[in-house]
Structure 1
Amino acid sequence: MLRSVQRALTRLCVLALAAGTAGVGAAAPAAAAGLTLTVDVGQTVRPATQVASGGLYGVDSDTRPSTDMLLPLNPTSFTQPAPGTAHLPNGATEPCCDALDVGHNITRAGAQQFIRMPDIYPDFPYQWQGWSDWEQKVTTMVQDRLAATETTNIRGWELWNEPGWTWDTEAAGSFHDGWTRTYDLVRSLDEVTPIVGPSWSYYEHDRMLDFMRHARDTGTLPDVIVWHELGDADWDSFGDHVADYRAIERQLGIDPRPIAINEYNSENEMDIPSVAVHWISVLERHGAREAHRAFWNEAGTFDGLFTLEGRPTASYWAYRWYGEMTGNIVETTPQSWIDGVASYDSSRQIVTTVFGGDWGDNTVRVEGLGALGPRVDVQVRYTPGSGRHTHVPEPSVVTDSTMQVDNGSISVPVEDMNAEGAYQLLVTPEGGPATSWQRVYEAENATVVNAETLSSGEASNGYYVGRIDGDADMRSDSFVDFTVNVPESRDYTMSIAYANGTGETATHGLAYNGGAWSAVSYEPTAGWGRFSTTDVTVSLEAGYNVIRLAKGSPNFDGGTGYAELDRITLS
């Protein structure tokens, strides 16, 4: 969608698309076979939270895409237009995607959303209509959100979008002063919901430094820092941008803010699975909290993961493989154009790598496999680079074999790679994973709302969720939503690993799939970050279910005391 006035120069080694993929409209690397992507299972990067599984205008309505279509992708967050939007994106004849209209669909999928306030205007670039008009619009948007007391998933107000070329300085004054004025108005109406920005169309040092200094000096710092990454083949710049921004924070004495890239990828390369894999890899590697696929075409297709008819595209499978990652994201080391993202789930002993980027015969080397035994099962699957209008019903299996582990490592050859496609490598102990279906769900992998992920050597995966303290209203309610996938409809015993350092019994509310609330009691443990377990029974449907453990939530009176969550286990 929102086209940047700056385009990063495409690398000199980029060539035209290979024959047979015409119409995708992107670039591919020159052939450079013999490359190796290295995966180190022993080096944890962060908990698996699907940082890059978000979208701008990714959800069109309460049913498109349907919740059932979204759940396998494990989306993290979206950016949606303001309540009451009149925006007509990309030549549309009717407004779409109102944040409050789609909010329950997004929540059911275990995700959250930013509200893009200037998308209240019908046109892009936005047509400024005066301060009185803008402030009336802002007030109405916030009041509409505050009236939506059942909506819990608003992650932030995005005050403006791409101001470097959409802010009307001549009519509205400087963007810095406009930011302060709008920030103060939103805060006068809503003291709770985070404010995000400045949402530049591309990262630039001097502009970010000037903005952050002004925001610091006026007491209007964003709670989440946002900019866009939209250049062709420009993913390698992201790490430099993060490092530069963190240096600005240190220079100005500003506490580190989460980073959200709520538009990434380019119009030319949006529908090439291997390019998406490059972006996913660097976004995970360099510390974005969340990132959203850019919107260039049709609303409601999750930015090309589904066709207009609602069927999976080639890129869908790359994101589905990514969405299935559990446990921890582990270290990957790219070589030239070969890159990927990898995870290790120690409870099931599964290593998953999604990779791609070059032609020819290449290799994925996986290290740190000692815990999986002397022999491992290895499967490689493939999804092509066929664009957003082509339905790909399922990925194809490239290889399926058993390999000897040599000093904790294997080297998996991947022959005749296609540079536009994406690949999945699954490594498990010989005979399959430790459990036939996932039973352990770490709290830090779940949707964490108004709480914090913390680290501890006593936590089962090295992390847990604490400060689950809020129960004032839908903006500050604290809860954790676990998206679970079970093989059949029946009762399950759910064991909750928790810590309660209050010295008295605490409670959370428990609900699943939007059903009735019940209470879970947590007896005191040896202290905060010191875990015990309690068991409850849950009645789940075959397939995906969302289980909420809450200190506060709509239609729930609120928990008592305080507790931390490490994991849930289904049996």
Structure 2
Amino acid sequence: MRYPLKRTVARIAALALLIGAAVAGAAAPANAAGLTLTVDVGTVVRPATQVASGGLYGVGSDSQPTTSMLLPLNPTSFTQPAPGTTHLGNGATEPCCDSLDVGANLVRAGAQQFIRMPDIYPSFPYVWQGWADWEQKVTTQVNDRLERTDLTNIHGWELWNEPDWTWNTASAGSFNAGWERTYDLVRSLDPVTPIVGPSDSHYNHNRMVSFLTYARDTGTLPDVIVWHELGDMDWDNFDDHVADYRAIESSLGISPRPIAINEYNSYNQMDIPSVALHWMSVLERHGAREAHRAYWFEAGTFDGLFTLQNQPTASYWLYRWYGSMTGNIVKTTPNSWLDGVASYDSSRKIVNVLFGGDWGSNTVKVNGLGALGSSVKVQLLYTPGSGRHTAVTAPTTVSTTTMTTSGGSISVPVPDMNAEGAYQLVVTPAGGPTTSWQQVYEAENATVVNALTRSAGGASGGYYVGNIDGSADMRSDSFVDFTVNVPTARSYTMTIRYANGTGATSTHGLAYNGGGWSTVSYPPTSGWAQFSTTTVTVNLNAGYNVIRLAKGSPYFAGGTGYAELDNITLA
């Protein structure tokens, strides 16, 4: 969404009243202190998948940002404009960010994308040109996508954007009827790719009831439910919106849909790290599958994580910390405006806590550290509240200490907090992580395409990936992309933990960094979710690499049988 400036004036004024003398846009009262954020390492919320690490118009070209800039952020997905876009967003003089033009960059970064179909129009709000024009545009977009048989990362058609105020009812008829007509056209051309919507500019109970009822009755339900969260401090309402939506689904007899918030954060809070931290916390806590930073300013900067000169901003470091989360997201309990998101990687024994949102001297209490021993290393880092035009070359290390646990808990004082900045707390055994570099990569933390994440007691970390079944074409191919980071360029032994309940040997294709394919064989195991291992050799570059294990993928003939993936280990 790109609000005209006049629509933000009231919000900016209200926020200024909230924070008094603080900098406009700060996300906390001015005098809070003595608060405690509680982290429960033993209470799992979900696998770590970087739910909030995506953006609208976040990637501008095949090299802006570069793949090497994207990889440390471990992005999940993006919303990009239609193939052949003519859209001029935010004062741009030339269209950019065509979904098919940037697709290879996103594939290399291990990210998926929605295609925003109405951004074929040049202006915003969109100027309707009639049904014949729209249907011709839709048909051309879908056919252009179908011709790109190399691209596997288109995981949704977004039929319209913010219809609650951009749909021309007078000329085009009701939005619900227009949704049905467009849905049927897309499905006639592409029966495979998910359709997402309704993509309202904010959550509205009555509109959602009307839309879902109509879509249910016409057989045009979206595969993914999308709405936008763009108001100042809207994170405080997100749990209510999710609960209300789930209640509507249940009342209408609709099976639960994944939730995507493909625009989040407000115009005047976009560049404040602690606000992004609030969004990360609630999006993880309340069940979004993915979420994309809003496009208020320059395209191709992952929405302010990079300056126009491709330098990292303060917010970049928050998202880089977030991108390093592995294992499981664990429970955090906020206190007033002090909030956070935390992960625990049991393979390396690393607790990673991101927090912020309040002023003064506060505390982070971490429970459930028994597996780390009686003494732990605690490192505290900080990134400031500077905006998208200020480069921040590195976060600040506030302190590095060794603490003795008491009953498996520590309480870490955080003096003189700045409510606009964000903080990272890393807790490991006193001698450091179990390994100096990450070696175990869980499948459920990876990019999972046309497959399902499941839970099982015998799976490492409690989760694994199954239903890796598709091999028909680039839209239905099933694979898992592991983004790995290794210290040197060399051959590595890769041990794959898998399950194969077919009773016969199955196979997957193996490729890395877009290279050639080889075959991995999986002898039968004692059943599904009953795991064994097989070992192969991979030749990796120093730094980041993307490893794909696939039942189906472009340029690969397709695997045989079926197999489930638990994790890979590099050694």
The answer to whether the 8 Å contact 1:312/1:392 transfers is yes
Q: Which amino acid is 1:176 matched to?
A: N
CA distance, structure 2, for counterparts of residue 318 and residue 517 of structure 1: 36
Deviation at 1:431, TM superposition (A): 1.1
Deviation at 1:373, TM superposition (A): 0.3
Per-residue CA shift, 1:182-225, capped at 9, x if unaligned?
00000000000000000000001111011000000000000000
Deviation at 1:25, TM superposition (A): 5.0
Deviation at 1:323, TM superposition (A): 0.4
Per-residue CA shift, 1:96-125, capped at 9, x if unaligned?
000000000011001000000000000000
SS at match of 1:321: helix
2:553 is the alignment partner of 1:549:
no
SS at match of 1:44: strand
Structure 2 counterpart of 1:388: 388
Structure 2 counterpart of 1:471: 471
Backbone CA RMSD of aligned residues: 1.3
2:18 is the alignment partner of 1:14:
yes
Structure 1 counterpart of 2:497: 497
The answer to whether the 8 Å contact 1:17/1:28 transfers is no
The answer to whether the 8 Å contact 1:8/1:234 transfers is no
The answer to whether the 8 Å contact 1:454/1:465 transfers is yes
CA distance, structure 1, for counterparts of residue 564 and residue 468 of structure 2: 7
Per-residue CA shift, 1:6-57, capped at 9, x if unaligned?
9879579821463xxx6x7555422210011000000000000000000000
The answer to whether the 8 Å contact 1:468/1:478 transfers is yes
CA distance, structure 2, for counterparts of residue 221 and residue 2 of structure 1: 27
SS at match of 2:19: strand
Structure 2 counterpart of 1:308: 308
Deviation at 1:236, TM superposition (A): 1.1
Per-residue CA shift, 1:282-337, capped at 9, x if unaligned?
00000000000000000111000000000000000000000000000000000000
Structure 2 counterpart of 1:128: 128
The answer to whether the 8 Å contact 1:307/1:389 transfers is yes
Structure 2 counterpart of 1:225: 225
Structure 2 counterpart of 1:110: 110
CA distance, structure 2, for counterparts of residue 309 and residue 486 of structure 1: 28
CA distance, structure 1, for counterparts of residue 51 and residue 392 of structure 2: 24
CA distance, structure 2, for counterparts of residue 247 and residue 13 of structure 1: 35
Query: Structure 2 matches for 1:288-299, cutoff 5 A?
Result: 288-299=288-299
Structure 2 counterpart of 1:68: 68
The answer to whether the 8 Å contact 2:225/2:259 transfers is yes
CA distance, structure 1, for counterparts of residue 335 and residue 415 of structure 2: 16
Structure 1 counterpart of 2:89: 89
Query: Structure 2 matches for 1:204-353, cutoff 5 A?
Result: 204-353=204-353
SS at match of 1:282: helix
The answer to whether the 8 Å contact 1:29/1:357 transfers is no
The answer to whether the 8 Å contact 1:17/1:27 transfers is no
Q: Where does structure 1 differ by over 3 angstroms across 4 or more consecutive aligned residues? A: 4-13, 24-28
SS at match of 1:50: coil
CA distance, structure 2, for counterparts of residue 154 and residue 172 of structure 1: 28
The answer to whether the 8 Å contact 2:15/2:25 transfers is no
Show structure 1 runs of 5+ residues with no match: none
The answer to whether the 8 Å contact 1:17/1:26 transfers is no
The answer to whether the 8 Å contact 1:456/1:462 transfers is yes
The answer to whether the 8 Å contact 2:448/2:480 transfers is yes
- % identical equivalent positions: 76
Structure 2 counterpart of 1:48: 48
Per-residue CA shift, 1:319-375, capped at 9, x if unaligned?
000000000000000000000000000000000000000111000000000110001
Structure 2 counterpart of 1:512: 512
The answer to whether the 8 Å contact 1:367/1:409 transfers is yes
The answer to whether the 8 Å contact 1:361/1:415 transfers is yes
13 and 503 in structure 1: CA distance in 2 versus 1, 3 angstrom threshold: farther
SS at match of 2:308: coil
Query: Structure 2 matches for 1:407-426, cutoff 5 A?
Result: 407-426=407-426
Structure 2 counterpart of 1:32: 32
Deviation at 1:233, TM superposition (A): 1.4
551 and 354 in structure 1: CA distance in 2 versus 1, 3 angstrom threshold: same
Q: Which amino acid is 1:206 matched to?
A: N
CA distance, structure 1, for counterparts of residue 15 and residue 395 of structure 2: 30
SS at match of 2:269: coil
Number of equivalent positions: 567
The answer to whether the 8 Å contact 1:16/1:26 transfers is no
Q: Which amino acid is 1:14 matched to?
A: L
The answer to whether the 8 Å contact 2:27/2:274 transfers is no
CA distance, structure 2, for counterparts of residue 2 and residue 192 of structure 1: 30
CA distance, structure 2, for counterparts of residue 504 and residue 412 of structure 1: 53
Per-residue CA shift, 1:515-570, capped at 9, x if unaligned?
01000000000000000000000000110000000000000000011000000000
Structure 1 counterpart of 2:137: 137
Structure 2 counterpart of 1:398: 398
Structure 1 counterpart of 2:184: 184
CA distance, structure 2, for counterparts of residue 369 and residue 41 of structure 1: 7
27 and 431 in structure 1: CA distance in 2 versus 1, 3 angstrom threshold: closer
SS at match of 2:399: strand
CA distance, structure 2, for counterparts of residue 210 and residue 30 of structure 1: 42
SS at match of 2:203: coil
Query: TM-score, structure 2 length as denominator?
Result: 0.98
Query: Structure 2 matches for 1:163-178, cutoff 5 A?
Result: 163-178=163-178
Structure 1 counterpart of 2:158: 158
SS at match of 1:371: helix
CA distance, structure 1, for counterparts of residue 25 and residue 332 of structure 2: 28
The answer to whether the 8 Å contact 2:20/2:30 transfers is no
Deviation at 1:234, TM superposition (A): 1.9
CA distance, structure 1, for counterparts of residue 233 and residue 143 of structure 2: 41
CA distance, structure 2, for counterparts of residue 151 and residue 493 of structure 1: 29
CA distance, structure 2, for counterparts of residue 434 and residue 497 of structure 1: 20
17 and 86 in structure 1: CA distance in 2 versus 1, 3 angstrom threshold: farther
17 and 506 in structure 1: CA distance in 2 versus 1, 3 angstrom threshold: farther
Deviation at 1:3, TM superposition (A): 2.5
CA distance, structure 2, for counterparts of residue 170 and residue 2 of structure 1: 23
Q: Which amino acid is 2:260 matched to?
A: A
17 and 568 in structure 1: CA distance in 2 versus 1, 3 angstrom threshold: farther
SS at match of 1:188: helix
